[in-house]
């Protein structure tokens, strides 16, 4: 049996449909002064978002996350490097025995613990505000 017509044909390719709950169907017009617009523009770039997305997020959630500071990025990179070192030391411990790597492992774990402790203290201070 051959079926013809468009009844059973599927649409292939293209962008997937958005769920009804997430579909943006309403528009709101808001006017800003030049100064406020520039401030908004800078903030949206810092948050690494389009301006409309930033306005939507900041309206519905006042704690819009901004791009991390340079110091935080530096600490993050340092932690990533330490994690890499830890993985390498773990591999060496499996190959050569853990007794030979006790001192460097202990030092590295101490550094990581110190950084994690500092972040926890900073997070506790921010929660208390």
User: Residue range 44-67: average pLDDT?
Assistant: 81
- What is the spatial distance between Cα 128 and Cα 109, in angstroms, rounded to a whole number? 29
pLDDT in tens, 60-102: 876 655 666 677 778 788 888 888 888 888 888 888 877 777 8
CA 97 to chain centre: 38
Q: Above 90 in pLDDT, residue 5? A: no
Strand, helix or coil at 8? Answer: coil
- Determine how many CB atoms are found less than 10 A away from the CB of residue 113: 10
Element (H, E) at 109: helix 102-128
CA 76 to chain centre: 12
């Amino acid at each position: 049996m051959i079926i013809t017509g468009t009844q059973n044909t599927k649409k292939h390719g293209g962008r997937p449909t958005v769920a009804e709950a997430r579909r943006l169907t309403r528009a709101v017009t808001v006017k800003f002064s030049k100064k406020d617009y520039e401030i908004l523009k800078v903030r949206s770039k810092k948050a690494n978002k389009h301006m409309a997305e930033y306005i939507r997020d900041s309206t519905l959630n006042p704690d819009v996350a901004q791009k991390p500071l340079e110091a935080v990025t530096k600490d993050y990179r340092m932690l990533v490097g330490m994690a890499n070192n830890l993985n390498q030391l773990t591999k060496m411990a499996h190959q050569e025995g853990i007794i030979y790597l006790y001192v460097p492992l202990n030092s590295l774990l101490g550094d990581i613990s110190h950084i994690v402790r500092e972040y926890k203290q900073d997070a506790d201070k921010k929660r208390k505000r």
